[in-house]
């Protein structure tokens, strides 16, 4: 799990990148060297160019997703597609060392995804006791504080069968964010205060019963996520401030939009599907609007899951061989 080496690296690292939340909701579910580090650049619509690095765990070169990045450049993710015999296995990549992976799996679990992390040594995610062929498995949210794991499922009287509960991000106030699915198949967003062990709901104030997934939270308490827009039934992203201001996020012309990360500047990151069904990463700010950010190796298969205060983004794409690869993109100012 965690190690004193990792903690020492974190203490000694200079501040380079800031908290993002990530999400494993698109997936069903020792130290080693990375396999590749491909660099390239692309230009977003508001003039930001990025350098891209492919980062895959050599324990599984066919399936990796990077899901979160914190202020120190530490990255959360997992390998394994979740298919039978190919379970999700969580890991954390230490700061400044994209060549190493530290295993992080919920004790006794069959599958684990590490989906988010903050700057205070806390990681969150979800685990499963199953690895079924149909990929219908139980999901349980978890918190890891310095190697001490706890399950954190929203207390609902009518959960899905099997239960679906995922924590997807955490901020520096130790407030985690996530969702659960009820018996009717509707998603409900929630916050979990790690210190007090208390839960609270996250809803669209205009449609409190709408299906909603809370995917990311910044240090101001602003939440990004995914919901069913009650006006048209389309899947849109959103940004909800702690004062209750709800902003719908829909890329113009897109079939669907999902907001999966937010930083302390309220820069939102995520993925949208175009009219042809191709997937593209995006960033959004109130000032500049939407910008497409695609990994050059996966121009129609890119998903961005996390963004930090320096604008670094992490996510994944599908390469020409059909493998799912993790990537880190760093703005070139």
**Which position has the higher pLDDT, 39 or 185?**
185
Which CATH number do you get for residue 77?
Answer: 2.120.10.30
The pLDDT of residue 40: 44
165 beta partners:
180
At residue 97, the pLDDT reads: 78
Question: Residue 86: what pLDDT?
Answer: 98
Residue 46: its pLDDT value, please? Answer: 55
Q: How many whole angstroms separate alpha carbon 104 and alpha carbon 90?
A: 5
Question: Above 60 in pLDDT, residue 21?
Answer: no
Is residue 231's pLDDT more than 90?
A: yes
What is the model's pLDDT at position 45? 46
| pLDDT, mean of residues 73-100 | 94
* Residues 78-88 pLDDT 10s: 999 999 999 99
- Per the rule left: phi > 0, alpha: psi between -120 and 50, beta: everything else, 171 is beta
Asked whether the predicted pLDDT for residue 126 surpasses 70, the reply is yes
Looking at the predicted structure, is the pLDDT value of residue 296 above 70? yes
Quick: pLDDT tens for 31-70. 232 333 343 444 444 568 999 999 999 999 999 999 999 9
Q: Within a 10 A sphere around the Cβ of 299, how many other Cβ atoms?
A: 14
- DSSP E strand stretches across 229-267: 235-240, 246-249, 256-262
> Stretch 134-156: mean pLDDT, rounded?
97
Tell me the backbone φ, ψ of residue 300, rounded to 5 degrees. -120, 15
Sequence-ordered list of residues with C-beta below 8 angstroms from that of 236, at least 6 positions apart, any chain: 226, 227, 228, 229, 248, 249, 250, 256, 257
On the CB side of 80, CA atoms within 13 Å amount to: 22
pLDDT average, residue stretch 210-235: 97
In the prediction, which pLDDT does 129 show?
Answer: 98
Domains of the chain: total: 1
Q: Which residues pair with 325 in a beta bridge?
A: 317
Q: Are 202 and 177 contacting, i.e. CB atoms less than 8 angstroms apart?
A: yes
Residue with tokens 């660099």: 39
Give yes or no for a contact between 316 and 65, defined as CB atoms under 8 angstroms apart: yes
Q: What is the mean pLDDT of residues 193-218?
A: 97
CB atoms within 10 A of CB 248: 16
* Residue 11, pLDDT score: 34
Q: Residue 308 above 80 pLDDT?
A: yes
pLDDT tier, 98 (very low <50, low <70, confident <90, very high otherwise):
confident
Residue 107, Cβ neighbours under 10 Å: how many?
11
3-state secondary structure of 1: coil
Q: Where is pLDDT greater, at 84 or 3?
A: 84
Q: What is the mean pLDDT of residues 320-326?
A: 97
Tell me the C-alpha distance between 222 and 237, whole Å. 13
Range of the domain at 43: 4-332
């Amino acid at each position: 799990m965690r190690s004193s080496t990792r903690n020492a690296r974190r203490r000694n690292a200079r501040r380079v990148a800031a908290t993002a939340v990530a999400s494993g909701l698109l997936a069903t579910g020792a130290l080693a060297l990375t396999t590749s580090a491909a660099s390239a650049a692309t230009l977003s619509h508001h003039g930001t160019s990025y350098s891209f690095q492919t980062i895959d765990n050599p324990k599984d070169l066919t399936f990796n997703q990077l899901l979160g990045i914190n202020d120190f450049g530490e990255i959360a993710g997992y390998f394994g597609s979740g298919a039978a015999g190919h379970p999700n296995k969580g890991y954390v990549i230490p700061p400044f060392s994209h060549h190493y992976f530290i295993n992080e799996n919920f004790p006794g679990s069959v599958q684990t995804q590490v989906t988010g992390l903050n700057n205070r040594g806390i990681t969150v995610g979800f685990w499963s006791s199953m690895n079924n062929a149909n990929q219908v498995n139980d999901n349980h949210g978890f918190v890891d504080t310095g190697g001490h794991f706890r399950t954190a499922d929203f207390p609902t009287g009518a959960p899905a069968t099997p239960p679906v509960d995922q924590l997807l991000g955490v901020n520096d106030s130790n407030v985690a964010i996530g969702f659960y699915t009820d018996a009717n198949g509707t998603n409900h967003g929630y916050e979990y205060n790690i210190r007090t062990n208390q839960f609270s709901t996250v809803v669209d104030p205009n449609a409190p019963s709408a299906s909603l997934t809370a995917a990311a939270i910044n240090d101001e308490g602003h939440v990004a996520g995914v919901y069913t827009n009650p006006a048209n039934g389309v899947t849109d992203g959103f940004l909800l401030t702690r004062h209750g201001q709800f902003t719908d996020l829909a890329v113009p012309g897109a079939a669907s939009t999902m907001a999966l990360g937010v930083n302390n500047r309220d820069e939102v990151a995520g993925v949208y599907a175009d009219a042809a069904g191709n997937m593209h990463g995006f960033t959004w700010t109130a000032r500049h609007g939407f910008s497409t950010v695609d990994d050059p190796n996966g121009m129609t298969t890119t998903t961005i899951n996390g963004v930090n205060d320096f604008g670094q983004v992490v996510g994944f794409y599908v390469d020409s061989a059909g493998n799912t690869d993790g990537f880190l993109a760093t703005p070139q100012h």
